[in-house]
């Protein structure tokens, strides 16, 4: 987790005085949407984001976009590797799924290599997968409980392989879903990448607290997100882990444009999936989701994603999640106006945020 947020000098008790409070700037990064922008465009935006005060990049592993309009799906490991050479902030997979398209051993190798190339910068975000990406290899698509169990078994294998690389000793695995013959990671950074698990449910959040280094989630009603963080911390305590040292990461979608009307048009055109009020995990085709997204209306974004031309509306929204205790927040503006968004937020929003 990031270092201490507030440092208080108790001052001179005799005079009942306190020195000024030093407040650290929050870690706000750029959510690079590989399902929406071509890889070179992503690289240009990420570099510009860094110049405007954004601290790092989070990118998800998509094989297909959500809807055809989004139009891209580049390979996350290639893009993050290139960004490692052209930026200086952190590099996170937010998220990749070591459950169907990928055997966990391959994800472990990719992550270890990226971390070795960029010491101290890479964190590994893992999820249980979504059919739109994972079904393409033709495997049976199970119900959510099995997908979650697969993810946590994958975490076990990845942790074993990270330890094998650090300890120069072969490991093997024979589990319910995966096998790993005797092997090790031959390329490994001096310190294993931080492992985070993405979840929106309390049971998986508590399980994550017991097993991994951090939690990833997306914006939702504050009471629900607060409950997730509490369950995550509860799991850590039950496992004897120091919850204050674990990371809490949020990806936050928003729609900013020069007018409210344009911001709403962007939301409806570019990110209608953000207005769908049901789980999308079982949808297999961008064209299928496109048909469902035709039902989305402006009011469907209320309480789910801020749509506004006013930077202060977005600032207050971001601040409400920082106040819950998130260490890192990565912003995704749903419009094509990435450079304008980064300029305005770097100037008007980020400097006003406090951790």
Q: pLDDT tens digits for 207-221?
A: 999 999 999 999 999
Instruction: Give the C-alpha distances (Å, rounded to integers) separating 83 from 48, 90, 201, 252.
Output: 12, 10, 31, 21
- Angle in degrees, CA 139, 144, 147, rounded to 5: 50
Q: Among 133-137, 178-182, 275-279, 323-327, which stretch is predicted with the lowest mean pLDDT?
A: 275-279
pLDDT given at position 278: 85
What is the average pLDDT value for the chain, to the nearest integer?
93
Tracing tokens 């009942």 back to the chain, one arrives at: 16
Instruction: Give the C-alpha distances (Å, rounded to integers) separating 175 from 99, 149, 172, 179, 273.
Output: 13, 11, 10, 6, 35
Q: What is the DSSP string of 241-277?
A: --GGGSEEEEEEEEB--SSHHHHHHHHHHH-GGGG--
- Does residue 8 register a pLDDT over 80? no
Q: Which of 62, 253, 314, 332 is catalytic?
A: 62
Say which DSSP state 27 is in. Answer: E
Arithmetic mean of pLDDT, 175-201: 97
Other C-beta atoms lying within 10 Å of the C-beta of residue 78: 11
Residue-wise pLDDT tens digits, 14-52: 333 333 334 578 999 999 999 999 999 999 999 999 999
Q: Which of 35, 50, 130, 270 is catalytic?
A: 130
Rounded Cα–Cα distance for residues 80 and 63 (Å):
15
> Computed over its alpha carbons, how large is the radius of gyration of the chain?
20
Active site residue 27: no
CA quadruple 30, 84, 62, 211: dihedral, nearest 10: -90
pLDDT given at position 5: 31
Instruction: Give the C-alpha distances (Å, rounded to integers) separating 94 from 7, 299, 310, 311.
Output: 30, 28, 27, 25
Active site residue 62: yes
- Does residue 229 register a pLDDT over 90? yes
Q: How many residues does the chain have?
A: 355
- What's the pLDDT band for 12 if we cut at 50, 70, 90? very low
Residue-wise pLDDT tens digits, 294-337: 999 999 999 899 999 999 999 999 999 999 999 999 999 999 99
Specify the DSSP element, H or E, that contains 6: strand 6-7
CA quadruple 145, 198, 215, 110: dihedral, nearest 10: 120
Specify the DSSP element, H or E, that contains 290: helix 286-293
- What's the pLDDT band for 224 if we cut at 50, 70, 90? very high
What dotted CATH number matches 29-352? 3.20.20.30
pLDDT given at position 91: 98
Q: Of 275, 327, 281, 336, which is closest to residue 306 (Cα–Cα)?
A: 275
Arithmetic mean of pLDDT, 100-128: 98
């Amino acid at each position: 987790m990031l270092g201490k947020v507030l440092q208080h000098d108790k001052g001179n008790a005799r005079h009942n005085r306190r020195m000024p409070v030093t407040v650290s700037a929050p870690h706000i990064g750029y959510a690079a949407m590989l399902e929406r922008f071509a890889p070179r465009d992503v690289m240009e935006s990420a570099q510009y984001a860094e110049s405007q005060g954004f601290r790092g990049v989070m990118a998800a592993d998509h094989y297909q976009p959500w809807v055809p309009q989004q139009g891209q799906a580049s390979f996350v490991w290639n893009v993050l590797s290139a960004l490692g050479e052209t930026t200086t902030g952190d590099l996170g997979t937010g998220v990749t799924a070591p459950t169907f398209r990928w055997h966990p051993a391959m994800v472990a190798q990719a992550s270890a290599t990226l971390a070795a190339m960029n010491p101290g910068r890479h964190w590994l975000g893992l999820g249980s997968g979504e059919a739109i990406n994972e079904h393409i290899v033709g495997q049976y698509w199970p119900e959510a409980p099995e997908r979650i169990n697969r993810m946590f078994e994958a975490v076990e294998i990845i942790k074993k392989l990270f330890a094998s690389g650090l300890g120069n000793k072969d490991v093997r695995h024979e589990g319910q879903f995966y096998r790993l013959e005797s092997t090790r990671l031959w390329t490994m950074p001096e310190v294993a990448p931080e492992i985070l698990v993405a979840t929106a449910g309390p049971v998986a959040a508590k399980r994550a607290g017991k097993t991994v280094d951090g939690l990833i989630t997306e914006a939702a009603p504050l009471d629900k997100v607060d409950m997730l963080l509490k369950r995550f911390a509860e799991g850590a305590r039950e496992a004897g882990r120091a919850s204050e040292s674990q990371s809490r990461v949020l990806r936050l979608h928003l729609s900013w444009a020069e007018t409210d009307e344009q911001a709403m048009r962007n939301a409806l055109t570019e990110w209608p999936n953000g207005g769908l009020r049901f789980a999308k995990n079982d949808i297999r085709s961008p064209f299928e989701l496109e048909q469902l997204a035709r039902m989305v209306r402006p009011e469907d974004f209320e309480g789910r994603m801020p749509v506004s031309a006013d930077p202060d509306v977005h600032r207050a929204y971001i601040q409400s999640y920082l106040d819950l205790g998130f260490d890192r927040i990565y912003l995704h503006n749903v419009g094509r106006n990435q450079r304008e968004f980064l300029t305005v937020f770097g100037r008007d929003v980020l400097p006003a945020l406090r951790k």
